[in-house]
Amino acid sequence: MEEKVRRLLLYAVGFFGGRAFFLGTNPFAVALLTGAYYIKLSTPGYVLSIMAGMASLFFVPEAVVTNGQYLFLPDAGEKTVLFISYVLIMAGVSWVLHLKSANNLMILFIYYIVGMAYNIYAGGDYRQWIMLLLSGIIAVTLIPVVKIGLNVLVNEKGREDNLNEQMLAVMVIMAVMAWGMPYTIAGLIHIGEIFGMYIALCTLQKYGGAYGLGIAFAISAIWSVRTGETTYIAAVITMIIMALLGRSVFGGIKYGTVGLYVLGGMLTGVTFFGYLFTFSGIQVLLVPALLFAVTPAYWMCYYGENIRAEHDRCAAVEINRLTARKIADLSGIFKRIEYTLAGCGGDVSRIGLSEVGELIEKFSEDIERLEPASNSREEKLRQELLAMNVVLEQLTMAMNEADHSRYYLTLRAHTRKRVRTRQVAAVLEHVMDRRIRPAADAPEYIPVDDHMIVFEDIAVFQCAFQVRRVKKQGSVISGDSFSVRENDDGKLVLMLADGMGSGSIAASESEILINTMEEMLDAGFDPLYAIAFANKCLSEKNRGSNFTTFDMGMIDLYSGELKMYKQGASATFVVRDGSCHIVQGTTLPIGVLPEVECDSSSEQLSDGDIVIMASDGIFSHTEDYDEKEFARFLSHRSYNTDNRESAVKKIMDDISGELLSRNQGVFYDDATVMVVVANS
C-alpha cells in the first residue's frame, strides 16, 4: 500500500474514532492514540484527526440530540465543556506517553481525573463516576487490541501464528469506525451502512466466511442499535451468506460474489426486510456492491507479514523441488558422462572436487535469488488468472546475475476449459511489466492438477539459425558433428566438432566430444573447465592417435555478448554493416596433448549482426581460397536482417552457392556451415 494511502487510512480511523462516543464517554479515542504511539504512528496530524472527529460531532447542529443516531451525548450546553475535557485528556495522555516510566495505570489515572472534573461540573452522580471508571478500564484494555489492529491495517505487519487475533483486532477498529460514522450525509447518503457492507464484502472475499460474517455481525449490530431496527442483523447476515455462496460457487471470482449478494438482498427485501426496497435500502444494497466490484483485489485488505511468511513457506517448498530436480539432473548427467567417456582412464575421467564445489556454490547462489513477488503484483496476477479459470497457488521468482528472471508458478485449471500456457504468459507479462514467455519445457495447456510451470523473461536478442553440412566425396557419413541449443541461463550455444579424417571413426570422435560438452554445460560447469576436461579424457582415450577440432560460440541473448572458444578450429566470421571481422584460433585440437590452452575471445553483437561458424572443409578444395577470400565474399553481400528467418536462409543459400561454385560441386573434405542472424 502506498505511504499516502496508509496515512489517509490512519487519519480516517482517528477521525471516526474521535466521533465514537458511548454513554457520554469515548474510551476509543484514548486507545487509538496510545496504540498508535506504541507502534510509532502517532503524529500531530493523527491527533488532530481524532480531535477533528470529536469537534465534528459536538458542533454540528443535528448532533444536539441525546439519542438516536448519536447515542447518549450530553445536552448541547454541556458539549463545549466535554470537548475541552477530552482535549485535556488527550494532552495528558500524550504527556504521559513521553515519560520513561509511562504505563497504562498512569493513562487510566489521567483519564479518570479529568473525566471526574467534567462530571462534577455537569452535576453527575456516583453512577457516572462508576461509568467513567469502567470507560477508563475499557480504554486501557483496548490499547493492545488497537496496537495490533493498526499494525495490520496501516503498517501492514502481522504474524503468521496469530491471524485470528489480528483479524479480531481489525474487526474492533472497523466497529469503532462504524460507530463513529454519521448515519447519513446531508440526510441522503447512508455512508455508515454503505461502509459497513463494503468492508464485510472485502473481508469475506479475501479471508473467507468466518471473518466476513464476523465483520457483518459486528457492523449490523451497531446499525441495528442506531436505527432501532432489530431485523437489521438478520438481513445483513443473510446477504453476506449469499455472497459467501457466490464466492464458493464461482471460485472466488468477484462478480459471482456480487451477483449472489445482490440476489440475497432482493430476496431478503421481498420476504422480511422491505427497507431494502426504499431509496435508502437500495443504496445500502447496490453501492457497496458497485464499490466492491471495481476495487482491485490487492486494495481490499492488508498484506501482513503473515502473508509474507506464507510466501516464504511456498518459496521453501519451491527450493526443495528445484534442489531435488537439480540433484537428479546432475546425477543423470554424471552417469551419462561416464558412459560417454567409457574407455578413458578412470583417474582421468574423474571430475575435480573443486569444480564440483564451485558448481554447488553457483547453484546455492541461484537458490538465494529465489524470492516471492511483491504482494500486490501476486494478488493482481491471482485475480486476473482466476478470471480466465486458472488458479494460482504460488509464485516464486529467481533472478540471475544478469537480471534475467524466471518465474515458477504453481497452477491448475479451475474448470475443464482448456487454457493455453501462452495465455497465462500474456497475463504474467502484463502484471510484471516485462516481456515473458513460457520456458521451453512448459506444457501447452494448464493441467487440471497443481503443476509447477516455468516462465522466463524474453531475451533482448532473438536469433535465427541454419546449419548445413556436406559429406566428403565417397564417404557414407560426415565426420563433423554440431549442436545448437538454448540453455536455461539464456545463452544460445553453438558447437561444431570436426573429427580427424572422415567416416565413422571421425564421426564417433566428434559426436563424443559434442555429447560430453552438452552434458558438462547442462551440469553448469564453466566452459573452459568443460573443454579442458573433455580434452584430457579424449587424449587419454586415444593416446594421440585421433584428435578433434572444437569450435563453440555462446551468445548471451540478454546482453548480446558473443563468447568464442576454439581448439584447433577454423575461423569464425562476424558480419556487420558491410564489413566482416575474422576471429581465429591458434591452439591445438582436442585430444592431441593432455594439457592444452583454449583460445577464448568475446564480441559484442549489435542488431542485425551475422555470425558464421564453419569447419575447415569449406577451404580444402582449392589452395587459393582461404578465410580472407571468404570474408571478402561475405562483406560484399547485403542482407535485410529485419526478417531473421528469411535472411538466414538467403545467407545460407548464398554461401552454399559460393562453395559449390568454387569447388565445382565436389567436396574433398567434410564441410559444415552454421549461420546465425541476431536481432535486438
pLDDT at 62: 47
Per DSSP, the residues of 280-304 read HHHHHHHHHHHHHHHS-HHHHS---
Q: How many CB atoms are located within 10 Å of the residue 638 CB?
A: 6
Q: What pLDDT is stored for residue 1 in this prediction?
A: 45
Backbone φ/ψ region at 433: left (φ over 0), alpha (ψ -120 to 50), beta: left
Which string of DSSP letters, residue by residue, matches 399-415?
Answer: E-TT--EEEEEEEEESS
Q: Which amino acid is at 392?
A: L
Beta pairing, strands 451-457 & 436-438: antiparallel
DSSP letter at 594 equals S
State the DSSP code for 395: E
- Residue 250: exposed, middle, or buried by beta-carbon count in 10 A (0-12, 13-18, 19+)? middle
Q: Which residue positions in the chain have pLDDT lower than 70?
A: 1-3, 22-24, 58-79, 122-128, 155-163, 251-252, 297-326, 328-330, 332-375, 400-403, 415-416, 544, 620-624
Return left, alpha or beta for 383; rule: phi > 0 is left, psi -120 to 50 is alpha, else beta: alpha
Strands 599-604, 561-567: pairing is antiparallel
User: Which strands make up the sheet holding 599-604, listed edge to edge?
Assistant: 480-486, 491-499, 548-556, 561-567, 599-604
The confidence score (pLDDT) of residue 362 equals: 63
Burial class of residue 460, CB neighbours in 10 A (0-12, 13-18, 19+): middle
Under 8 Å between Cβ of 265 and 276: yes
User: What secondary structure does DSSP assign to 611-653, as a single string?
Assistant: EEEE-GGGGSS-TT--HHHHHHHHHT----TTSHHHHHHHHHH
Alpha carbon of residue 207 to chain centroid: 20
Half-sphere exposure of 202 (CA within 13 A, CB side): 23
Contact between residue 533 and residue 520 where contact means Cβ atoms under 8 Å apart: yes
Distance CA(473)–CA(360), nearest Å, equals 47
- Biggest alpha carbon distance in the chain? 121
Question: Which region holds residue 208: left if phi is over 0, alpha if psi is between -120 and 50, else beta?
Answer: left
Instruction: Note the pLDDT of residue 300.
Output: 52
Tell me the C-alpha distance between 530 and 523, whole Å.
Answer: 10
Contact 436, 640 (CB under 8 A): no
Distance CA 352, CA 355 (A): 5
Residues of the chain with CATH 3.60.40.10: 462-679
Handedness of CA 556, 562, 563, 566 (dihedral sign): positive
Q: Which three cell numbers stand for residue 394?
A: 504460488
CB 194 within 8 A of CB 288: yes
The 3-state DSSP class for residue 149 equals helix
Query: Do residues 654 and 677 lie in contact, with contact meaning Cβ atoms separated by under 8 Å?
Result: no
Note whether 562 and 555 are within 8 A (CB). yes
User: What pLDDT was estimated at residue 162?
Assistant: 61
Distance CA 627, CA 573 (A): 9
> Residue 453 pairs with which residues in a beta bridge?
409
Task: Report d(CA 497, CA 198) in Å as an integer.
Answer: 69
Nearest CA among 429, 433, 475 for reference residue 455: 429
Q: Measured between alpha carbons, how far is 5 from 276 in angstroms, rounded to an integer?
A: 32
Cα angle at 212 between 210 and 216, to 5 degrees?
Answer: 115
- Note the pLDDT of residue 322: 63
Are 410 and 451 in contact by the 8 Å Cβ rule? The answer is yes
- 233 phi and psi, to 5 degrees? -60, -45
Compute the distance between CA of residue 243 and CA of residue 289 in angstroms, rounded to an integer: 10
In terms of pTM, does the model score above 0.85?
no
The set of cell numbers assigned to 337 is 558422462
Q: What is the pLDDT of residue 321?
A: 62
DSSP string, 521-590: HHHT--HHHHHHHHHHHHHHHHTTS--EEEEEEEEETTT-EEEEEEES---EEEEETTEEEEE---SPPB
Q: Which CATH architecture has domain 462-679?
A: 4-Layer Sandwich (3.60)
